Structure 1
């Protein structure tokens, strides 16, 4: 990711030549970043099934 930012900054700020071989991975990386950001949900755990009551613990065998 850092090399993509450096390549874009060099192209935009310093007029460095960035060929199509470099633009393809930069575009793919940005597309993947946007995709994962848009599809990630806020909660890290999946919703629990059931009626919302706490389960009754099973006794351990002796």
Structure 2
């Protein structure tokens, strides 16, 4: 089973789609994050949840 770590980003109402897309693509490219969930609120703000797999090394003897 995989283990993930999560990061939450919040974008206020006035954030353009292009600016949000650029921020998400930078996290994906440089931090190896992937999109897990997007929540759009009635006031226009967005909460984006990103995740990435935790790689654990197995000790060999």
TM-score, normalised relative to structure 2: 0.31
Q: Which has the higher helix share?
A: 1
Q: Which has the higher strand share?
A: 2
TM-score, normalised relative to structure 1: 0.31
**Rg larger for:** 1
Return the structure number with greater relative CO, CA threshold 8 A, min gap 6. 2
